[in-house]
């Protein structure tokens, strides 16, 4: 659990983050959104003390984050940034091993961890361990960047626009992979982005920052249903509201009894994509299949339309 | 098949033609200071040898002129250089009248032009072959080894420059030692001071402009003026600081030369350190901090390794510059190869000037090649991968 308690940051009398209080639940994905200059990155960087707050306190599992030197704190918190930030003169394996080496792990444990993470990120250790960052594609570099952030098995992973430099196709894959890994490792993730699609795709909870203030903090559906300010509404986009609602949940959660003709949709498909399929194929209903292929039921145009409507 | 010309080859072939057919190959003088008598290749060498050399040169010129495989061009250059080295020694023996110890034979403009032309051809071929750094150092060692072997064999003993050497063999090596000590010593001192100063300038931005401008100013002071400026403070130190005179600090001599070289060296070292550290990718630095490296770990683990090629380039500039500049030390009694240069100028004996100048050039050239190889071996992987 991360407790942010009355955090303020001022630079030369300029307030960048103003009295933000929020609690981030363990083992969840929290996305901080806002326009540039909203203070979202500064807020993130105060969690691992890359930026020292002017006032307020941040507690990790009840312990003040100033209880130890900044560099020791940062070794216990994963950190991944836009453009991956890999060290160009070190191999993939050396990059991933950075924090374990700083922590003084023995060699066998480091090697095992590196191999495990490479496999987890679908990079063959035999092929990739000895490569240098410039020999990887953008998506591979980004995965190595996240693997490095997770190497010391941190409870908390901070990500600053981690997918900002990727093209849309690789970005979607990277987001899906991140969700899988989060489910597997149960890491608490705090992610900063200005991409609302990304926020709705990844977040358990979204925090909206505007001019240094935390204007709304809640579940994605809550933001769509009851935007706290004009700004939140603009950010979500008036014409996007029904689709935002649909993009939060999966087709499995909209399943109705019965069957339908057509190619089954995987249960993990978002309701938004399911609607898109229905519209495109011109059908009123499509079957939904579990990962093992069994048919769970169907999604219908009518059912999805109801879910996309403004809550009464 | 149409005949195709090599662009640079045309220039080199013209040089070769001029050097072989128009300019004299060797000069014979009655003694070391009178003007001499220029000899063309056919006059300078025994009959058969002269013709052999001309044939070889014409043959080489044709290969140079046409588009030929690079390895053949390199072999041609190597063969021509070896032939030039051997025949110039032979010319010395041939031209010197028997039992005459005053007569001097020295290579003339034609020889130097041919040497330059074939050296250019060799350099061009090596550049086109793009050898690994280790191979380049190996080629250098082979060249130096070949020259050393010819020197030891006594083949060049008839040449004027070696007659000058023969009379000064012990002094020569003493001055060589002083020259290298001055050049390397001031280099080490400037790296020891300049590297931390550069790091400081990188971290403390307000300091940067002040330090770099000061060092720039020092660079503009002529060396003679700098020696003059240093006489008073170093003289004062010698008198007033106990032990200073004992370790050789005086107003003139090696100490001011050392200090001057050191001061001139600081700018390249500091400036390149600042530029190198400034070129470290921002994301790498940011990530290093974000995952918990201390400032020291970041400096030694990330910043310095990534800045190293640029810093080494600065050190290369300093070393080559110092080897050349160290000749000036002789002006104030600091020793080094400059001793022969200034004695030679004083006595109008060009051979003596060459005895100082040639080793300086060879030393600077060797240092440049070795350090270039070192820089390339230290270049970050991303650059090496692209050129391969």
Q: Complex ipTM, two decimals?
A: 0.84
Rounded to two decimals, what is the model's pTM?
0.80
Element (H, E) at B13: helix B7-17
Q: How far is B292 from chain A (nearest CA, A)?
A: 4
In sequence order, the β-bridge partners of residue A160 are A81, A192
Provide CB contacts within 8 A for B138, sequence distance 6+: none
pLDDT in tens, A4-56: 999 999 999 899 999 999 999 999 999 999 988 899 999 999 999 999 999 99
**Cβ neighbourhood burial of B346 (10 Å; 0-12, 13-18, 19+):** exposed
Element (H, E) at B238: helix B223-240
Q: Report the alpha-carbon distance of residue B85 to residue B163 in Å, rounded.
A: 17
Residues of B in Cβ contact (< 8 Å) with A145: 287
Would the CB atoms of B290 and A48 count as touching at under 8 Å?
A: yes
Local confidence pLDDT in tens for the 388 residues of chain B? 577 888 888 999 999 999 988 999 998 888 877 888 888 888 888 888 889 999 999 999 999 988 888 899 999 999 999 999 989 888 888 888 877 778 888 888 999 999 999 999 999 999 888 888 888 899 999 999 999 998 888 888 888 888 888 888 889 999 999 999 999 999 999 999 999 999 999 999 899 999 999 999 998 988 888 888 888 888 888 888 888 777 777 777 788 888 899 999 999 999 999 999 999 999 999 999 999 999 999 999 999 999 998 999 999 999 999 999 999 888 888 888 999 999 999 888 888 898 999 999 999 999 999 998 888 887 755 444 433 3
**Cβ neighbourhood burial of A13 (10 Å; 0-12, 13-18, 19+):** exposed
Q: Which two tokens stand for residue B349?
A: 């004996």
Mutate to test the interface with A, among B276, B279, B290 (most CBs of A within 10 A): B290
In sequence order, the β-bridge partners of residue A216 are A208
**Cβ neighbourhood burial of B88 (10 Å; 0-12, 13-18, 19+):** buried
Q: Are B296 and B241 in contact (CB under 8 A)?
A: no
A150 pLDDT band (50/70/90 cuts)?
A: very high
Per residue, the 3-state secondary structure of B337-383, as one string, reads CHHHHHHHHHCCCHHHHHHHHHHHHHHHHHHHHHHHHHHHHHCCHHH
Residue position matching structure tokens 């270039």:
B372
Mutate to test the interface with A, among B280, B282, B291, B305 (most CBs of A within 10 A): B291
Q: Are A224 and A309 in contact (CB under 8 A)?
A: no
| Cβ-nearest to B290 among A72, A81, A89 | A81
Residue B228: per-residue pLDDT = 83
Residue B383: per-residue pLDDT = 46
pLDDT in tens, A261-276: 888 888 888 898 899 9
| Cβ-nearest to A75 among B281, B291, B385 | B291
Residues of A with a Cβ under 8 Å from any B Cβ are 48, 50, 71-76, 78-79, 81-89, 98-99, 102, 132-135, 145, 148-149, 158
Residue B1: per-residue pLDDT = 54
Q: Which two tokens stand for residue B146?
A: 């070949």
Q: Report the alpha-carbon distance of residue B297 to residue B311 in Å, rounded.
A: 19
């Amino acid at each position: 659990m991360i407790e942010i308690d009355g955090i303020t940051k001022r630079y030369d009398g300029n307030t960048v983050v103003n009295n933000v209080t929020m609690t981030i639940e363990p083992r969840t994905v929290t996305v901080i959104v806002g326009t540039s200059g909203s203070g979202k990155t500064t807020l993130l960087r105060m969690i691992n003390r890359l930026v020292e707050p002017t006032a307020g306190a941040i507690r990790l599992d009840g312990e003040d984050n100033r209880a130890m030197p900044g560099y020791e704190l940062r070794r216990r918190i994963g950190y991944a940034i836009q453009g991956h930030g890999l060290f160009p003169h070190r191999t993939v394996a050396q990059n991933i091993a950075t924090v374990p080496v700083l922590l003084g792990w023995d060699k066998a444990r480091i090697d095992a961890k590196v191999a495990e993470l490479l496999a987890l990120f679908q990079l063959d250790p035999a092929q990739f361990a000895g490569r240098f960052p410039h020999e990887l594609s953008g998506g591979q570099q980004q995965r190595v960047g996240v693997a490095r952030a997770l190497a010391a098995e941190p409870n908390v992973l901070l990500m600053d626009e981690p997918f900002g430099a990727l093209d849309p196709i690789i970005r979607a894959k990277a987001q899906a992979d991140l969700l899988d890994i989060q489910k597997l490792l149960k890491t608490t993730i705090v992610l900063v982005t200005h991409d609302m699609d990304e926020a709705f795709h990844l977040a358990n909870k979204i925090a909206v920052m505007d001019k240094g203030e935390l204007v709304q903090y809640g579940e994605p559906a809550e933001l769509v249903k009851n935007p706290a300010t004009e700004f939140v509404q603009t950010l979500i986009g008036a014409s996007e509201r029904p689709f935002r609602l649909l993009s939060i949940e999966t087709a499995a959660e909209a399943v109705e009894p019965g069957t339908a003709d057509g190619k089954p949709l995987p249960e993990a498909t978002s309701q938004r994509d399911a609607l898109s399929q229905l519209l495109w194929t011109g059908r009123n209903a499509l079957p939904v299949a579990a990962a093992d292929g069994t048919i769970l039921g169907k999604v219908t145009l009518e059912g999805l339309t109801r879910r996309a409507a403004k809550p009464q | 098949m149409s005949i195709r010309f090599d662009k640079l080859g045309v220039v080199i072939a013209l040089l070769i033609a001029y050097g072989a057919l128009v300019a004299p190959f060797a000069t014979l003088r009655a003694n070391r200071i009178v003007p001499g008598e220029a000899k063309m290749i056919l006059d300078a060498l025994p009959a058969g040898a002269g013709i052999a050399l001309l044939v070889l040169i014409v043959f080489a010129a044709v290969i140079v002129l046409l588009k030929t495989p690079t390895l053949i061009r390199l072999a041609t250059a190597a063969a021509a250089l070896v032939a030039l080295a051997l025949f110039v020694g032979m010319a010395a023996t041939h031209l010197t009248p028997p039992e005459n110890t005053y007569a001097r034979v020295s290579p003339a403009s034609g020889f130097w032009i041919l040497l330059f032309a074939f050296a250019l051809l060799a350099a061009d071929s090596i550049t086109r072959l793009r050898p690994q750094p280790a191979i380049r150092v190996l080629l250098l060692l082979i060249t130096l080894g070949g020259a050393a072997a010819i020197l030891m064999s006594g083949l060049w003993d008839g040449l004027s420059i070696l007659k000058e050497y023969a009379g000064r063999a012990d002094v020569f090596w003493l001055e060589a030692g002083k020259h290298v000590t001055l050049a390397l010593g001031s280099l080490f001192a400037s790296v020891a001071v300049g590297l931390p100063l550069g790091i400081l300038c990188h971290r403390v931005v307000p300091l940067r402009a002040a330090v770099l401008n000061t060092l720039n100013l020092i660079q503009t002071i002529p060396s003679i003026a700098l020696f003059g400026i240093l006489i008073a403070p170093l003289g004062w130190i010698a008198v007033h600081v106990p032990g200073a005179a004992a370790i050789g600090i005086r107003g003139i001599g090696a100490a001011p030369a050392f200090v001057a070289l050191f001061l001139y060296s600081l700018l390249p070292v500091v400036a390149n350190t600042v530029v190198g550290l400034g070129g470290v990718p921002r994301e790498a630095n940011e990530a290093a901090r974000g995952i918990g490296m201390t400032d020291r770990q970041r400096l030694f683990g990330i910043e310095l390794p990534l800045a190293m090629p640029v810093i080494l380039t600065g050190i290369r500039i300093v070393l080559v510059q110092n080897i050349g500049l160290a000749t000036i030390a002789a002006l104030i009694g600091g020793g080094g190869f400059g001793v022969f240069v200034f004695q030679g100028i004083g006595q109008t004996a060009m051979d003596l000037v060459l005895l100082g100048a040639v080793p300086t050039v060879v030393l600077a050239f060797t240092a440049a090649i070795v350090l270039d190889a070192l820089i390339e071996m230290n270049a970050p992987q991303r650059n090496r991968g692209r050129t391969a």
